């Protein structure tokens, strides 16, 4: 659908796609854009922000030829920074985003828009989706309806915000939320900020997207796991309610316990002991006390 056709209504939704536009992702990028067009009966504005300097010229040429695509370039190889750039360019009442290897289901954006325009007037609509891998499809969330009542506690049960499962009210979710992002955990940090800010959330517990499980994604990297300690510390800096702070500190304790186990496995006994002591100092840390026997010479190993 040509969003530039004057006979068509102005788009209500912008979809932002951060991408490196690599040759390897060219086919999935085209699939993603095709899915956006099938996701609404109305025109949808599409902003593609190509980040980095290794884009495929053919893929970029194809993007430039699409009448409903605004093509932008950012030399910094950062999806989060590209998302910020896309948000700064939004000129529609609502916006969403989509990874270049994922896709919307047919009618997905119309379904989200109906929820956004309901009497409850939410700031954000979050949806369920399907995770697709070589074994088939599985539902992404099994308790999504619990999110609106208590977004912050729910975040520690499931990462209820992702790059492709939401629709935002532009007037409520301005660009500052996307600045100072947290590397490797951008969407968890974003969801946390929304919860602290008291943003009103609506839920569609129906699959409106397909998340294709791609080998080598950042979420599988060691750096991704390590980023969570600084994320938890950053969360605490926003002075959350006491029960949420307790949840965060318990996660910190779990992080240090995992680090201790890894260090011990690698023969770094002193580091393992230090990490273990850190885990014991957090709320609920006594649950790791029994693990001490693996670290202290002479401690009986029998259970």
Same domain, residue pair 195 and 255: no
Same domain, residue pair 65 and 157: yes
Q: How many domains does the chain have?
A: 2
Percent of the chain scoring above 70 in pLDDT: 93
Q: At which of 186, 219, 252 does a domain end?
A: 219
Q: Is residue 251 part of a domain?
A: yes
What pLDDT digit, counting tens, does each position of 132-148 carry? 998 999 999 999 999 99
Same domain, residue pair 128 and 49: yes
Same domain, residue pair 213 and 148: yes
pLDDT of residue 67: 96
Same domain, residue pair 148 and 251: no
Question: What rounded mean pLDDT belongs to the chain?
Answer: 93
Same domain, residue pair 278 and 176: no
**Mean pLDDT along residues 257-282:** 95
Q: Is residue 258 part of a domain?
A: yes
> Which CATH number do you get for residue 45?
3.90.550.10
Of 65-74, 122-131, 225-234, the least confident? 225-234
Same domain, residue pair 158 and 258: no
**Mean pLDDT along residues 264-269:** 94
Same domain, residue pair 44 and 138: yes
Same domain, residue pair 96 and 183: yes
Q: Is residue 119 part of a domain?
A: yes
Describe the crossing of helices 186-196 and 79-89 by its angle, rounded to 10 degrees: 50
Same domain, residue pair 115 and 190: yes
pLDDT of residue 183: 86
Instruction: Let me know: does 121 contact 106? Beta carbons within 8 Å.
Output: no
Q: Which structural domain, as residue segments, surrounds residue 58?
A: 13-219
Taking the mean position of all CA atoms in its chain, how far away is CA 58? 29
On the question of pLDDT at 162 being above 90, the answer is: yes
Same domain, residue pair 116 and 18: yes
Is the torsion defined by CA of 161, 162, 167, 173 positive or negative? Answer: positive
Closest CA to 282 of 250, 242, 235: 250
Same domain, residue pair 282 and 165: no
**Mean pLDDT along residues 277-283:** 96
């Amino acid at each position: 659908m040509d969003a530039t056709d004057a006979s068509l209504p102005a788009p209500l939704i912008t979809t932002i796609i951060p991408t490196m536009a690599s040759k390897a992702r060219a086919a999935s990028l085209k699939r993603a854009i095709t899915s956006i067009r099938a996701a609404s009966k109305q025109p949808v504005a599409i902003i593609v922000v190509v980040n980095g300097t290794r884009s495929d010229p053919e893929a970029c040429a194809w993007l430039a030829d699409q009448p409903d695509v605004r093509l932008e370039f950012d030399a910094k190889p950062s999806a989060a920074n590209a998302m910020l750039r896309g948000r700064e360019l939004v000129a529609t009442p609502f916006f969403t985003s989509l990874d270049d290897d994922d896709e919307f289901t047919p009618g997905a954006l119309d379904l989200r828009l109906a929820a956004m325009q309901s009497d409850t007037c939410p700031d954000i609509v979050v949806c369920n989706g399907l995770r697709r891998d070589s074994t088939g499809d599985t539902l992404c969330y099994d308790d999504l309806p619990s999110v609106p009542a208590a977004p912050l506690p729910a975040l520690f049960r499931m990462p209820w915000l992702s790059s492709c499962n939401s629709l935002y009210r532009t007037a409520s979710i301005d660009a500052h939320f996307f600045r100072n992002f947290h590397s490797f955990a951008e969407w968890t940090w974003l969801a946390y900020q929304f919860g602290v800010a008291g943003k009103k959330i609506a839920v569609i517990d129906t699959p409106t997207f397909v998340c294709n499980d791609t080998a080598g994604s950042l979420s599988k990297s060691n750096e991704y796991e390590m980023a969570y300690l600084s994320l938890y510390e950053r969360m605490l800096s926003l002075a959350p309610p006491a029960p949420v702070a307790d949840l965060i500190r318990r996660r910190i304790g779990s992080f240090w316990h995992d680090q201790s186990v890894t260090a011990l496995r690698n023969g770094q006994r002193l580091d393992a002991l230090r990490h273990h002591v850190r885990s014991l100092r957090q709320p609920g840390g006594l649950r790791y006390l029994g693990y001490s026997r693996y670290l202290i010479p002479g401690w009986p190993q029998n259970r």
